[in-house]
Structure 1
């Protein structure tokens, strides 16, 4: 069941959600300190006592090592156990570890897509997947963001002239652009109809959404039904790293052979990720996800009460439509002045302010953040209006 828009005022304020950046950080010549809605540790696992203890124990066992091939990670059983854990978590046959989410995208696209194949890709897909597709083939076919019918039109047009070569359909289970999610079952049906392969990237929602942490794959009853799943661990699992999971072992075997010398993860990262999967599956993880979603819903409500436009579905990144890129640029220093750290994307008339919510934010943090965003945008609009009133200076010939 997807989360409804509602607030929950029955829980007392938490006081441990304020994150201050060190005084040494700066914005221009001003100290950068504030309420942190820019970091992505949505379940707060990076400081969990069991995570910290696991990292310390692994450090004592294996020492400090940089990322390396799985066979060189100190205990190969660690990487094997983690790959099995990922595959089971997603109900896939097998998984392959990669150094980053971007590396996972590059591994799967470069390993499977030939120059004569086609890639049908959501137009708003994250840059790593798009760049990998562009490098693999000239036959790139973007479809309108989250529009399954436009994807169907692309597939129909390709198959009308090419019945031999492969087609890879690429989407994200949750878009970081607008917090939207595709109809994954509809895309699965299209892939079956036109003989295409479905790849779903789950970076944004794995571990942190859904009662069991399976994100929209679980919420839409699509676990084990995509052909390929890629993702990054950075959002919920307290570590860097990425992965590719496949429905058939032959695919990961092919990718593993092609990437035999590629870097994987350090023993500390692998051990931390294994512990994070355990916590996410336990009652503690369920409680943290519930607390996280409560914060998300309350923030979305508070922003709307201040006449701001909140995009997409409830998820860990609350996205606010700003409008012009110039307004976003003017809002950035105002947000810093008010002690609020957020992500801003300035592009034409579709600029967004993204706030990364965590389970550790308190009710007071949520209220302060909504007020700060509204005030910063009001000040930015006043700045923009003042600029428009200034007379244009004519330069003498």
Structure 2
């Protein structure tokens, strides 16, 4: 087969792999292909994909057999299906396999069927989505919650529904792509502020208000940044927004449920529950389902979102099965069992970071469900990911556009049901792969983006 991977012996030197061109290039080269034939001008990208596949360094579009778990069977990377330690799935509290969650999903399927059969604005709602809005509002201490079929849709929809062309958006330079794309679609007045830099936010707010007292300003950040495992100073950001008449939006996709007192995430850990202007999030990290939400205290914002957020109005609503799944997860998150699961998750995270540090590795950020392991170059990241897959340790190699060019890393996502034995087995394998990848020679050039 054309894209069949070349068997790779980890004991061999790496010059041949580097000379192949499979370690060179990056997605940025292929982002905007040129030419009059829309259907054919992406051919250089496909050629680059095929080259990387042949050499076993294309770690995307893998397939999971069965449910996500600490031990999972994965097929991809040009390899046959293999069972190994899974740090690539997002199931922070291991709720995808929880008996109560599975039972709730099955009960909803039997009662309501698999399909919402309509937009939430029309007849796509059910008693389960209503209950989910209420319970989520209680957790966040927000009176109004609007559900979306995806977390991406919640982020993009919230920004585009609320921000107009004359308004301003200030957004953390490392915020989710859904938020950045929403901002660019809503207004030309978009400014990135330096990551976590509240002084820069203050400077930008003061500058805008000095020249424009009438337009709205939306300040966007996240509770936990998924590529860097760090968090902003939310009390200070909210204070600055009050001072300059701006609105703060916080995306809690990665921390809600998995961190903070009662599962309230970074907002709860910083004492800001019920005090943030607008909270958005996704159900796909901790709550075992697709979907997303926007929560706030303003009924007028709820109405604006319902009618003008395209992903809410023009997409089918969450299915009854999805709503029931998230509801069951929310009940566990807020229970003593949830505290036990979060404590287990944090123990694994702290131990893995400590073991990797002892191996001389650089882990980014602070304790959270995410451990970003630095590689730097895209070539080193590709090699490390390939070596680990061949040792049945599955990770997510992250390069552009997920992270800036030259700032590649392996993103390790932990689960409450990982075991200490799995953590201790994986740590030296992770370190050895990164060290081996660091010895790679300079990669040859990849195929040209223009062919």
**Scaled by the length of structure 2, what TM-score is found?**
0.79
Q: Does 1:286 align with 2:339?
A: yes
- Structure 1 residues 17, 135: closer, same or farther in 2, change over 3 A? closer
Alignment-derived partner of residue 364 in structure 1? 421
Structure 2 counterparts to residues 298-337 of structure 1, below 5 A: 298-337=351-390
For residue 377 of structure 1, report the CA deviation from its aligned partner. 1.2
SS of 1:309's equivalent? coil
Alignment-derived partner of residue 395 in structure 1? none
- Measure the CA separation in 1 of the matches of 2:436 and 2:177: 32
2:145–2:296 CA contact under 8 A, matched in 1: yes
Alignment-derived partner of residue 350 in structure 1? 407
Alignment-derived partner of residue 63 in structure 1? 113
SS of 2:263's equivalent? coil
- Structure 1 residues 212, 120: closer, same or farther in 2, change over 3 A? same
Q: Does 1:122 align with 2:179?
A: no
2:116–2:316 CA contact under 8 A, matched in 1: no
Structure 2 counterparts to residues 66-85 of structure 1, below 5 A: 68-70=118-120, 72-73=123-124, 76-85=126-135
Alignment-derived partner of residue 394 in structure 1? none
Residue 295 of structure 1, aligned match among 343, 348, 357: 348
2:126–2:320 CA contact under 8 A, matched in 1: no
Alignment-derived partner of residue 4 in structure 1? none
- Structure 1 residues 118, 285: closer, same or farther in 2, change over 3 A? same
Alignment-derived partner of residue 140 in structure 1? 190
Count how many residue pairs are aligned between Structure 1 and Structure 2: 369
- Measure the CA separation in 2 of the matches of 1:372 and 1:260: 47
- Measure the CA separation in 2 of the matches of 1:62 and 1:354: 38
**1:284-335 residue CA offsets vs partner (Å, 9 max, x unmatched):** 1111111111111111111111011111110001111212222112212111
Q: Does 1:164 align with 2:214?
A: yes
Alignment-derived partner of residue 98 in structure 1? 148
2:73–2:81 CA contact under 8 A, matched in 1: no
For residue 32 of structure 1, report the CA deviation from its aligned partner. 4.2
Residue 374 of structure 1, aligned match among 426, 431, 435: 431
- Measure the CA separation in 2 of the matches of 1:154 and 1:186: 15
For residue 77 of structure 1, report the CA deviation from its aligned partner. 2.1
2:117–2:123 CA contact under 8 A, matched in 1: no
Alignment-derived partner of residue 250 in structure 1? 300
Q: Does 1:182 align with 2:239?
A: no
- Measure the CA separation in 1 of the matches of 2:222 and 2:117: 27
**1:54-100 residue CA offsets vs partner (Å, 9 max, x unmatched):** 11111111122257423534x73221111111111101121000001
SS of 1:43's equivalent? coil
Alignment-derived partner of residue 195 in structure 1? 245
Alignment-derived partner of residue 11 in structure 1? none
For residue 187 of structure 1, report the CA deviation from its aligned partner. 0.4
Structure 2 counterparts to residues 12-31 of structure 1, below 5 A: 18-22=70-74, 25-31=75-81
1:67–1:265 CA contact under 8 A, matched in 2: no
For residue 29 of structure 1, report the CA deviation from its aligned partner. 4.3
1:44–1:360 CA contact under 8 A, matched in 2: yes
**1:7-50 residue CA offsets vs partner (Å, 9 max, x unmatched):** xxxxxxxxx9741215xx23214444321000011111111111
2:385–2:410 CA contact under 8 A, matched in 1: no
- Measure the CA separation in 1 of the matches of 2:295 and 2:113: 29
- Measure the CA separation in 2 of the matches of 1:282 and 1:100: 25
- Measure the CA separation in 2 of the matches of 1:353 and 1:362: 20
Alignment-derived partner of residue 323 in structure 2? 270
Q: Does 1:87 align with 2:140?
A: no
Unaligned runs of 5+ in 2: 1-67, 445-451
Unaligned runs of 5+ in 1: 1-15, 391-397
**Scaled by the length of structure 1, what TM-score is found?**
0.89
